[in-house]
Structure 1
Amino acid sequence: MFKVLWRSLKDLFDEMLLLIMVNVIWCVMCLPLLALAIVAVIQGDTFFATLIAFLAVLPLGPANGGLYTIAQRVIEGRTSKIADFFAGVKATAKLGWKIYGLWMFVLVTLLFNMSFYASLSNTVGAFLLVLFLYLTAIWFAVLIYIGPLMIVQTDKSIKLIARNAALMTFGRPLFTLVTLILMTLIVGVSVGFTLVLLPALIMFSFLAVWSFRATTKLIEDADERRRLAEEKAATAVGGPRYSSDKGRGGQIKPRE
């Protein structure tokens, strides 16, 4: 997992200018509504916060598609330009709205439940509050993988993307947990120390590259485990060797 972080940092420095420009564009598209929703939550205006959160999906879905398109090109070592970001925005707009709209809906539901159970002063309320805190953490962990999977999967069905993201999250829990904690620390330090230039200039691009590296790592690990298992089975029965073709429907199997 730390190797993935190190390679992501190398990608960041190799393509610093491009990632800064893409990051600024993403911030202009997404941050105003997201920031407004956070302010509404702080002020206790739940209805307005919910409304703005769903409106934020309109720029967030396509913008994330563009951001992860650039992230893919960067980790593959391909030459990229700003036009590739907007090509990604256009190509993934509808899928991005569906995926991040669903993600936002579940997040809002989890937060509503947390708010409700936090108001209960009994053991059941405390238990359910902890449960929904745990589920919310898992839901943010899923966010690491859904953007990259939206780009790399040949089958773009939401069901398959969700399945593969869940397999990665639960199939490699330690890897996912440490990655989520490190990402949270970076975001927290950036915001906590009011280093506004860091998130404005590079942070979101870096997180996208890191997420793509993490997703690619798990896919490669899954392919290697499957290759070894099929070679072992083929050797035992004298059958054909492992084929590197992907599974039916583009399914990714992080754990056999």
Structure 2
Amino acid sequence: MIDRKAFRTLTSGLYLITSRESDRKVGCVVNTLVQVASEPPTLAVALNKDNVTTAAIDATGRFAATVLSEAAPIELIGAFGFRSSADTDKFADCPYCLDGAEIPYVTASGLARFSVRVTEKVDVGTHYLFVGIVEEAAVLEAGEPLTYADYHRVKGGKTPPKAATFNGGEDGIDAVPAAAPVGDAAAPTTEEAPKRVAWRCPICGYVEEGYPDGLPADYTCPICGVPGSMFERVEI
């Protein structure tokens, strides 16, 4: 028997993993970046086999990683975590630099960055585990790292289906999405105003009205780009 709630006790940070595919810059969000050796300095990261970023790393043998700070905006996480590099330039609205191997790395809201040369790829089911030697590392700014628990608990974030920690829709520790506005319970009323159906983004809290029967198939959040299929139905 496997109780998936047990996995919620494993703590980690939140990172942007980036690479390139020819002239196209690609990237995604992970919480699976770990240091596995000190000499030589070695990092490992797990990425879904279906990700564009995974294919780019497999082809180039290189990736960069940015450690996100507590101040990282949900829009940045949404852009890299819930959009596809296949049809979106995720670097269009955020500052970045190129490392010595011309791999892009994000500098916005980053505490540190690493450039890694892959030395081993391990098949672990839905994901590949890329292991590599760190060739460049630098501190970008002072601050505290954003933990995966705080991403759920403080920012109300959700887990993308392709994440290594996705557990069939059961999100992390005590995820708290923004509450829909409610009236003053203490105020006396003679009748309740009819409620309206709306749809709320689970990442940034944006609320869309005007679609009582469901959002269009091609709808995406205008703030963070999350697909409409992940929006939550609310009444306001």
The structure showing larger relative contact order (alpha-carbon pairs under 8 Å, at least 6 residues apart) is 1
> Which one has a larger percent strand, Structure 1 or Structure 2?
2
User: What TM-score, normalized by structure 2, do the two folds share?
Assistant: 0.27
> Which one has a larger percent helix, Structure 1 or Structure 2?
1
User: What TM-score, normalized by structure 1, do the two folds share?
Assistant: 0.26
